[in-house]
A = this chain, B = another copy of it.
Amino acid sequence: MPNISRYVDISEVDKEAKKDYIDRHSPFITCASSAKAGEKFAVNVRMGNEYSHPDDTDHYIKSIQLFNGTTLLAEANFVAGALGGTGAKGQAEVTFNVVPSGSKMRLTALSYCTKHGLWECDPVEVSVTE
């Protein structure tokens, strides 16, 4: 089963290696807390907050998917080497632009590491105003 790992607050994690492991595999969503219906709204997703992930050919971040609730909004696919290549580390990052409708969005990101599988972040709520 493609188990999905979830972010846990690394300030409550003791071991440095585990902090690094969790942080670099977790997608972090940055966006405004409210959006206007019908207008373009930028959503940035970056892998890792304090740590960086390898960009090796056999170990890299392959994709980031952005969901609103259970609905896929957009997806970015990366190739090994685009963040510096073997030996380098980086934070895969993409900015999507969506036009919201409804009264709120509940955004989550789901990422895939070629060695450590699927990871998701906590949902980010965005209110949508007319």
A residues with a Cβ closer than 8 A to B are 1-4, 38, 40, 55-58, 62, 65, 67, 70-85, 88, 90-99, 101, 108, 110, 112, 114, 116-118, 120, 122-123
Q: B70 and A118: CB pair below 8 A?
A: yes
Cross-interface CB contact of A70 among B70, B79, B91, B117, cutoff 8 Å: B117
A61 → chain B closest CB, angstroms: 11
Contacts of A56 in B (CB 8 A): 57
A98 touches B82 (CB 8 A): yes
How far is it, in angstroms, between the C-alpha of A111 and the C-alpha of B2 when the chains are bound?
11
Measured in the bound complex, the distance between the Cα atoms of B60 and A74 in whole Å is 13
The answer to whether A99 and B76 touch across the interface, beta carbons within 8 angstroms, is no
CB of B83 within 8 A of CB of A1, answer no
B97 with A93: CB separation less than 8 A: yes
A108 to B2, CA, bound (A): 7
